């Protein structure tokens, strides 16, 4: 291997690695060879390789996990939290192919939390929809939604066909709805969640709880969404309104 003079070798190695990544030799999420192997390939000391990796880590191209290896950083999806956030629109807007499939649906009595969020009371039946959202076949989120059962009877069938809650709601005459507010927490995933997201048990999930309301202010959906923290970051754009 010949090195250009006048530029640090680690910088040149960094460029080589970057080419391998952009060229597709190492794909997002994939493990790079060990530092020793890379050092052998370029005929340099391991420390030189580490400098290159450190620079690429700083630039968010690589991610190093002690004891495991070096990985190509997955491109994280910026998920805006607005009052008109629609999953499919966001993903398509990023030139990625959205998909959302139903995992399970059933009708049950609402518990206290669901009742409160849907602004209901008494013994009320709700439809519980579980779904997994993907972009380019990679799982991004696992959601549980609750809708009033009387108003949206049979919505799970339409949801399965259209793969979109927005579309399904249209069939019930709901042309428009907005998000009231969103609560954000972080937790370790339970087994079910980490399996759906195909994400390590040791990586946390970002959880949003939100309520959608129709134009009359009636609650139509209470949703709990578990985002794979590895692949999604939430984003709040603050409108510059001075009160």
Mask for 18-57, x = binds DNA (CB under 7 A) = --------------x-xxx------xxx-xx-xx-x----
Query: Cα–chain-centroid distance for residue 46?
Result: 35
As measured in angstroms, the least distance from the Cβ of 242 to a second copy is 8
- For the chain, the residue count is 243
* Binding partner at 123 among a second copy, DNA, none, C-beta below 5 to 8 Å by kind: none
Q: Give the range of 22-30, 62-70, 82-90, 233-241 binding DNA by CB under 7 A.
A: 62-70
DSSP 128-168: EEEEEEEETTEEEEEEEEEEETTTTTTHHHHHHHH--HHHH
* Binding partner at 69 among a second copy, DNA, none, C-beta below 5 to 8 Å by kind: DNA
Residues that bind a second copy (CB under 8 A): 58-59, 76, 78, 81-83, 111-113, 178-188, 202-206, 229, 233-242
* Binding partner at 218 among DNA, a second copy, none, C-beta below 5 to 8 Å by kind: none
Alpha helices in 76-224 (DSSP H): 87-93, 112-117, 155-162, 165-170, 191-197
Position 61 contacts DNA (CB under 7 A): no
Q: Give the range of 59-67, 97-105, 147-155, 210-218 binding DNA by CB under 7 A.
A: 59-67
Q: Which is nearer to DNA, 57 or 178 (CB)?
A: 57
As measured in angstroms, the least distance from the Cβ of 115 to a second copy is 12
Phi, psi of 124, deg, nearest 5: -120, 135
Contacts of 201 (CB under 8 A, 6+ apart): 188, 189, 191, 194
Residue in the block written with tokens 């530092």: 35
The rounded distance, in Å, linking the Cα atoms of 29 and 65 is: 12
What are the angstrom distances between the C-alpha of 80 and each of 8, 23, 89, 101, 155? 40, 29, 11, 21, 26
Applying CB under 7 A, among 9, 135, 165, 174 the residue interacting with DNA is 9
The rounded distance, in Å, linking the Cα atoms of 42 and 153 is: 64
Q: Which is nearer to DNA, 29 or 82 (CB)?
A: 29
Contacts of 98 (CB under 8 A, 6+ apart): 87, 88, 91, 92, 133, 134, 135
Q: Which is nearer to a second copy, 8 or 102 (CB)?
A: 8
- Interface positions, 69-88, toward DNA (CB under 7 A): 69-70
Q: Which is nearer to DNA, 32 or 197 (CB)?
A: 32
Binding region for DNA (CB under 7 A): 3, 8-11, 32, 34-36, 43-45, 47-48, 50-51, 53, 64-70, 191, 200, 202
């Amino acid at each position: 291997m010949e090195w250009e003079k006048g530029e640090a070798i680690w910088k040149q190695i960094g460029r080589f690695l970057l080419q391998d990544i952009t060229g597709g030799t190492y794909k997002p999420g994939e493990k790079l060879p060990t530092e020793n192997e890379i050092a052998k390939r370029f005929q340099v000391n391991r420390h030189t390789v580490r400098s290159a990796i450190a620079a690429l880590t700083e630039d968010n191209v690589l991610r190093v996990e002690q004891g495991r290896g070096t990985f190509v950083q997955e491109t994280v999806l910026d998920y805006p939290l607005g009052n008109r956030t629609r999953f499919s629109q966001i993903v398509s807007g990023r030139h990625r192919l959205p998909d959302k499939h139903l995992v399970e649906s059933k009708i049950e009595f609402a518990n206290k939390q669901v009742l409160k969020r849907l602004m209901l009371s008494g013994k009320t039946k709700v439809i519980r929809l579980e779904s997994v959202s993907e972009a380019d076949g990679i799982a991004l989120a696992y959601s549980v939604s609750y809708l009033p059962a009387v108003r949206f009877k049979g919505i799970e069938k339409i949801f399965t066909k259209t793969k979109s809650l927005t579309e399904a709601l249209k069939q019930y005459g709901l042309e428009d709805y907005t998000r009231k507010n969103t609560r954000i927490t972080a937790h370790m995933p339970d087994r079910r969640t980490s399996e759906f997201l195909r994400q390590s048990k040791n990586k946390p999930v970002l959880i949003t709880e939100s309520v959608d309301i129709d134009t009359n202010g009636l609650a139509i959906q209470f949703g709990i969404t578990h985002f794979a923290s590895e692949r999604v970051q939430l984003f709040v754009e603050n409108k510059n309104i001075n009160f």
